[in-house]
Amino acid sequence: MTSTLTPVLSANWDRPDSFTLEAYRESGGYEALRTALTMEPATLVDTVKSAGLRGRGGAGFPAGMKWSFLPADNPNPRYLVINADESEPGTCKDVPLMLANPHALIEGIAISAHAIRSSHAFIYVRGEVLHVIRRLKHAVAEAYDAGLLGSDILGTGFDLEVVVHAGAGAYICGEETALLDSLEGYRGQPRLKPPFPAVSGLYASPTVVNNAESIASVPSIVANGVEWFTSMGTEKSAGFGLFSLSGHVAVPGQYEAPLGVTLRELLDMAGGVRGGHELKFWTPGGSSTPILTAEHLDTPLDFESISAEGSMLGTRALQIFDETTCVVRAVGRWIEFYAHESCGKCTPCREGNYWMVQVLHRLERGDGTEEDVDKLLDICDNVLGRSFCALGDGATSPVTSSVKYFRQEYIDHMKHGGCPFDHTKSTLWGGER
Q: Is residue 25 part of a domain?
A: yes
Tell me the pLDDT of the chain averaged across its residues: 94
Is 397 inside any structural domain? yes
Shared-domain flag, residues 262 and 293: yes
Which of 287, 221, 187 is CA-nearest to residue 39? Answer: 221
Q: Are residues 73 and 161 in the same domain?
A: yes
Which residue among 322, 337, 365 closes a domain?
A: 322
Q: What CATH number does the domain containing 153 carry?
A: 3.40.50.11540
Q: What is the pLDDT of residues 210-252, one digit of tens each?
A: 999 999 999 999 999 999 999 999 999 999 999 999 999 999 9
Same domain, 288 and 340: no
| Structural domain boundaries, residue 315 | 234-322
Query: To 10 degrees, what angle do helices 327-341 and 390-416 make?
Result: 150
Q: Is residue 129 part of a domain?
A: yes
Same domain, 103 and 144: yes
Residues 211 and 67 in one domain: yes
Tell me how far apart the alpha carbons of residues 347 and 31 are, in angstroms, rounded to a whole number: 50
The answer to whether residues 90 and 221 belong to one domain is yes
Q: Rounded to two decimals, what is the model's pTM?
A: 0.94
Q: Which of 288, 322, 356 is the last residue of a domain?
A: 322
The verdict on residue 405 lying in a domain is: yes
Q: State whether 269 and 384 are in the same domain.
A: no
Nearest Cα to Cα of residue 303 among 226, 245, 235? 235
Rounded CA separation 356/397 (Å): 12
Residue 168 has what pLDDT?
A: 84
pLDDT over threshold 90, residue 169: no
Q: Is residue 430 part of a domain?
A: no
337 and 279 co-located in one domain: no
Number of domains, the chain: 3
Residue 428 lies in a domain: no
b/e code 157-181 from CB counts within 10 Å (16+ = b)? ebebebebbbbeebbbbbbbbbbbb
- 428 falls in which pLDDT band (50, 70, 90)? low
Contact by Cβ (8 Å): 106, 139: yes
Is residue 128, in this structure, part of any structural domain at all? yes
Q: What is the pLDDT of residue 432?
A: 43
Binned at pLDDT 50, 70 and 90, residue 416 comes out as confident
Using the 3D structure, point to which of 184, 201, 231 is the last residue of a domain: 231
- Averaged pLDDT for residues 376-404: 97
Residue 427: predicted pLDDT: 57
Q: Are residues 34 and 111 in the same domain?
A: yes
Q: Sheet containing 279-283: which strands, arranged edge to edge?
A: 253-258, 240-247, 317-322, 279-283, 292-293
SS3 283: strand
pLDDT bin (cut points 50, 70, 90) of residue 420 is confident
Say yes or no: 101 and 218 in one domain: yes
Give the DSSP H or E segment for 359: helix 347-365
Which residues, other chains included, contact 9 with Cβ-Cβ below 8 Å and sequence gap of 6+?
97, 101, 104, 213, 216, 217, 220, 240, 242, 256
Do 42 and 131 share a domain, yes or no? yes
Whether residue 245 sits in one domain with residue 165: no
Is 432 inside any structural domain? no
Q: Is the predicted pLDDT of residue 130 greater than 50, yes or no?
A: yes
* pLDDT (average), residues 8-37: 97
Mean pLDDT of the 385-397 span: 95
